[in-house]
A and B are shown apart, each in its own frame.
Chain A
Amino acid sequence: GAVVSQHPSRVICKSGTSVKIECRSLDFQATTMFWYRQFPKQSLMLMATSNEGSKATYEQGVEKDKFLINHASLTLSTLTVTSAHPEDSSFYICSATDTGTNTEAFFGQGTRLTVV
């Protein structure tokens, strides 16, 4: 089946630094990818929609200057958490839909970010 690879799986960074998370669709093309954030015991919250070759669409309340999204190719989207703070510590997950079939959303393994 289709696979979405997310890297890194875990990252610890110091306050004020930036962290980049990669999301790759390994065997299909995805013109659209989605980024979610999940706090403990809570549901996935959509942060933004990443569109290949154009600007990302951010959900209300999500700072676009803090969470930079780049979707430079049909198989890669990146999320950069800039000037990270402890409150940014969370579980970040990406998903991608196969452009060809457009029926299934596949999720990455998630990235556990801890800001100290």
Chain B
Amino acid sequence: KNQVEQSPQSLIILEGKNCTLQCNYTVSPFSNLRWYKQDTGRGPVSLTIMTFSENTKSNGRYTATLDADTKQSSLHITASQLSDSASYICVPLLRDQGGKLIFGQGTELSVKP
């Protein structure tokens, strides 16, 4: 069974600090891996998309890494802001799934002033 495990489940940090969220997955065959941010009561918003051949990708203060060999990914948030408080979800995409995404539990991040 394909699984996605994210850690930590929840995280509280102070504004301005950095943090790293982890994702371990077992999906195969692998097409790409996405990180989404979901604010409470809103739809997910894409942060990064990486194919299996990419090791790192940045989007502003967000930097995602991918190790396709060990099936691990991370999302690093630099200089956190209060608006970063949200759920962050790692979504590996199976090949030939026609765009169907299977979401894990995500990491609930809370940034405090």
* Contact of A75 with B by CB under 8 A: no
| Contacts A32-B98, A49-B98; A44 near B103 (Cβ below 8 A) | yes
Chain B residue nearest to A1 (CB atoms) is B46
Q: Annotate B50-81 by CB proximity to A: 1 below 8 A, 0 otherwise.
A: 00000000000000000000000000000000
Interface string of A96-110 (1 = CB under 8 A from B): 010000111111111
A109 to B41, CA, bound (A): 8
Q: Which residues of A contact B44 (CB under 8 A)?
A: 44, 93, 107
Interface size on B, residues (CB 8 A): 18
Asked whether, in the complex, the Cβ of B100 is within 8 Å of the Cβ of A34, the reply is: yes
**Are B99 and A32 touching (Cβ within 8 A)?**
yes
Number of interchain pairs (Cβ within 8 Å): 49
Contacts of A42 in B (CB 8 A): 105
Report the minimal beta-carbon distance from A7 to chain B, rounded to whole angstroms. Answer: 13
Q: Quick check: A105 and B104 within 8 Å, CB to CB?
A: no
Distance in angstroms between the alpha carbons of A46 and B74 in the assembled complex: 24
A102 CA / B49 CA spacing, docked (Å) = 13
Residue from A49, A97, A102, A107 in contact with B43 in the complex, judged by beta carbons closer than 8 Å: A107
A43 with B98: CB separation less than 8 A: no
- Select which of A44, A46, A107 is within 8 A of B45 by beta carbon: A107
* Pair B100/A46 contact, Cβ less than 8 Å: yes
